[in-house]
Amino acid sequence: MIGYVSKINDRDLERLDKDGQLRNYAATHDIGKLGIERYYEDVLHGKTGYEEVEVNNRGRVIRQLHEQPPSAGKDVYLTLDLNLQRYIEQLLVGSRAAVVVSDPRTGGILAMVSNPSYDPNLFVDGISNKDYQGLLNDPNRPLINRATQGVYPPASTVKPYIAVSALSAGVITKNTVVFDPGWWQLPGSEKRFRDWKKWGHGRLNVTKALEESADTYFYQVAYDMGIDRLSTWLTKFGYGEYTGIDSFRRAFRPDANARLEIQTLQETVVSGRHHSGGHRPGLLDRYADPDVQGAEHPD
């Protein structure tokens, strides 16, 4: 998540030149490569100072034409709770899992843990081929950030959004009843999808279906909505949209040719955005000039 800095390579030089930033890196050999270090590189890096002078044919300085003093980069403060982050890391030791915790009042990310992970310092001075191959071939896939790159079925967390979507679209009412025998069968198919409760929940309206987390009720309601209408409504809640979180912006959209899958990070955003008063989720709390008291908060 924090990422790392490493030596500037040819790809970095090409990008800096394209962005008109190459001159600002004349006095440094390092640049943010991943995560927060890369996303806030412009804020952290500062401005390189320089002096323009006029010289004679012997190389002696005649006069100063222009001087641009250097300016230090800003300090970046994150919303992360270090104690909470460490606590979750300890809980996940030996597991393949991801946990994201946000403050629903502000949208700030308090913890983001993916396990197993790796030491980003291995990349700072250039990782050896042996170490890189070890990470690449590790069956636990530590290079994959399960919080931001892994995608998983949302399971029961999507049920409230299907319910609200179906009610809003008029597909069901609060009194619509579906009988649950313990399975649901897709029309035209012999395959049966089992409910978690072997013998079913019996007669269900939407309230009872949510209370008991009845799988088959929402299978039927989702089928009645149809993939296009369901996708449109779920998008309104944040499914399939960019997370808006600094340095982690990918998202996955449900469609007719793919299963509905979601990032752990995006699931946190979807569930928290309706309780944050419209605050944009993010990792940045504030940044400040190291030589000046006070802090500048992001918009």
In a domain, 223, yes or no: yes
- Percent of the chain residues topping a pLDDT of 70: 89
Domain end, chosen from 238, 255, 281, is at 238
Residues 23 and 49 in one domain: yes
Q: Are residues 121 and 170 in the same domain?
A: no
265 in a structural domain: no
Last residue of a domain, one of 214, 238, 262: 238
Residue 254 falls inside a structural domain? no
- Residues 130, 176, single domain; the answer is no
Same domain, 121 and 160: no
281, part of any domain: no
pTM value? Answer: 0.76
Q: Is residue 298 in some structural domain?
A: no
Q: Last residue of a domain, which of 126, 150, 174?
A: 150
CB-facing half-sphere around the CA of 87: CA atoms within 13 A: 9
pLDDT tens track for 22-46: 888 887 888 888 888 888 888 898 8
47 confidence band (pLDDT: 50, 70, 90): confident
Question: What pLDDT is stored for residue 291 in this prediction?
Answer: 66
Whether 284 is covered by a domain: the verdict is no
| Catalytic residue status for 271 | no
* Residue range of the domain that includes 118: 78-150
| Rounded mean pLDDT, 221-231 | 94
Higher-pLDDT residue of 235 and 166 is 166
Decide if 190 is inside a domain: yes
Which among 71, 156, 168, 271 is annotated as catalytic? 156
The CATH number that applies at residue 178 is 3.40.710.10
pLDDT in tens, 52-83: 999 998 899 999 999 888 888 899 999 999 99
Same-domain check for residues 141 and 187: no
**Count of structural domains, the chain:** 3
What does the DSSP assignment read for the chain? ---EEEE--HHHHHHHHHTT-GGGGTT--EEEEEHHHHHTHHHHH-B--EEEEEE-TTS-EEEEEEEE--BPPPEEEE---HHHHHHHHHHTTT--EEEEEE-TTT-BEEEEEEES---GGGGTT---HHHHHHHHT-TT-TTS-TTTT-EE--GGGGHHHHHHHHHHHTS--TT--EEE-SEEE-TT---EEEPSSTT--EEE-HHHHHHHT-HHHHHHHHHHH-HHHHHHHHHHTTTTS---BTTB------BTTB---EEHHHHHHHHHGGGTTTPPPBSEEEEE-TTSSS-B---
Taking residue 179's Cβ as centre, other Cβ atoms within 10 Å add up to 12
DSSP type of residue 169 = H
| 82-96, 225-239, 256-270, range with the lowest pLDDT | 256-270
